[in-house]
């Protein structure tokens, strides 16, 4: 039975990915004039009526991948000082009482999110007239996703981020390959770093097996303070690595293999997180790895 740390990490992927630098949380504002879709409803001029609304927003200028997106609030812009505070609701009508609008009433929600193109579509209705169509509406989004340049893991962080998006869409094969690619990339970057301080006779060679490189990279990280076999979780790390590598190779070489399951994806993700915690942060015990990522063991 695997050490509980594997399960704990897999149940808190976004939290763990945040510590890796593979995901970030940003509050994003966008402002636009509401333009009803006149293919579905006729123009009513100054007469109040229900107009269908469909607005698309792009966040590709800030994100490479999106993991979660929430429409936190929306409403008409105002000079009132409270409106600059995200803890205060925006006005969702142009006239009426505090609790009920009489005109320009907005009723909007998220219709879809494209995690790879980093776009979101908002739809709903505007109950109003041509007066409200010329008014700016402010949208406030809370977005969890990968922001390039905010990490120190190189491609490994981006690979984890991409895999998280695949997993969110139920694409387990792509998610599994992404997590394993992150591990492969991380080991390779560490190999190159270690080789800078070695002479030609002791460098970690490119052609060495990935498992051999992993052993050397981890031994280099923990130094002489503890033998690799004395790291309690190392047996589970080796077993999960062998299982993941075998599955990856079988699929890559078009050999018979079982379908990739959620369990495979979870274990591969946790493997990446554990190896990074050991190598980058010298966390060799499950309780210390859990504390580093802020998860319950």
Q: CATH no. for residue 120? A: 2.60.40
Same structural domain, 35 and 116: yes
Among 84, 114, 146, give the residue marking a domain's end. 146
SS3 of the chain: helix, strand, coil, percent, to 5: 45, 25, 35
Per the structure, the count of domains in the chain is: 2
Q: pLDDT digit string (tens) for 168-185?
A: 999 999 999 999 999 999
- What pLDDT is attached to residue 151? 76
In this predicted model, which residue has the larger pLDDT, 176 or 49? Answer: 176
> What residue has token string 């990522």?
293
Same structural domain, 100 and 209: no
108 SS3 class: strand
- What pLDDT is attached to residue 66? 98
Same structural domain, 157 and 65: no
Instruction: State yes or no: pLDDT of 79 exceeds 90.
Output: no
- What pLDDT is attached to residue 132? 66
Q: pLDDT digit string (tens) for 267-288?
A: 999 999 999 999 999 999 999 9
Instruction: State yes or no: pLDDT of 97 exceeds 60.
Output: no
Partner residues linked to 33 by β-bridges: 136
- What pLDDT is attached to residue 225? 76
In this predicted model, which residue has the larger pLDDT, 8 or 41? Answer: 8
Same structural domain, 192 and 71: no
Identify the DSSP state of 177.
Answer: H
Same structural domain, 132 and 203: no
Instruction: State yes or no: pLDDT of 22 exceeds 60.
Output: yes
Distance CA 110, CA 55 (A): 10
Ranges assigned E (strand) in 48-135: 49-58, 65-76, 95-96, 101-103, 105-114, 119-128
HSE of 39 in the Cβ direction (CA atoms, 13 Å)?
Answer: 3
Same structural domain, 48 and 8: no
In the chain, the percentage of residues whose pLDDT exceeds 70 is 89
Same structural domain, 140 and 188: no
Domain that holds residue 189: 4-21+152-293
Instruction: State yes or no: pLDDT of 48 exceeds 80.
Output: no
Among 127, 146, 165, give the residue marking a domain's end. 146
Same structural domain, 162 and 286: yes
**Residue 209 banded pLDDT, cuts 50, 70, 90:** very high
The pTM (predicted TM-score) of the whole model is: 0.89
Q: pLDDT digit string (tens) for 217-267?
A: 999 999 877 888 889 999 999 999 999 999 999 988 887 778 899 999 999
Instruction: State yes or no: pLDDT of 51 exceeds 90.
Output: no
Question: Average per-residue pLDDT in the chain?
Answer: 89
């Amino acid at each position: 039975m695997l050490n509980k740390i594997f399960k704990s990490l897999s149940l808190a992927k976004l939290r763990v990915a945040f510590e890796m630098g593979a995901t970030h949380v940003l509050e994003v504002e966008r402002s636009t004039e509401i333009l009803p879709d006149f293919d579905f409803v006729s123009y009513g001029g100054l007469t109040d009526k229900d107009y269908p609304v469909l607005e698309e927003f792009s966040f590709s200028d800030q994100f490479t991948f999106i993991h979660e997106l929430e429409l936190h609030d929306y409403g008409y812009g105002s000079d009132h000082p409270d409106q600059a505070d995200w803890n205060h609701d925006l006005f969702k009508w142009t006239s009426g009482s505090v609790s009920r609008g009489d005109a320009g009433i907005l009723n909007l929600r998220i219709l879809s999110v494209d995690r790879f193109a980093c776009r979101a579509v908002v739809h709903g209705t505007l109950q109003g007239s041509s007066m409200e169509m010329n008014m700016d509406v402010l949208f406030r989004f809370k977005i969890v996703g990968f922001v390039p340049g905010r990490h120190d893991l190189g491609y490994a962080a981006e690979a984890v981020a991409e895999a998280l998006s695949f997993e969110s869409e139920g694409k387990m094969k792509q998610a599994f390959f992404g997590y394993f690619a992150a591990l492969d990339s991380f080991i390779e970057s560490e190999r190159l770093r270690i080789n800078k301080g070695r002479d030609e006779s002791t460098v970690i060679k490119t052609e060495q097996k990935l498992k051999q490189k992993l052993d050397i990279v981890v031994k280099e990280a923990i130094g002489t303070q503890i033998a690799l076999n004395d790291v309690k979780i190392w047996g589970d790390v080796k077993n999960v690595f062998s299982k993941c590598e075998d599955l990856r190779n079988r699929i890559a070489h078009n050999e018979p293999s079982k379908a990739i399951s959620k369990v495979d994806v979870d274990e591969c993700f946790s493997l990446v997180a554990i190896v990074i915690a050991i190598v980058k942060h010298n966390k060799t015990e499950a309780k210390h790895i859990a504390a580093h990522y802020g998860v319950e063991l």
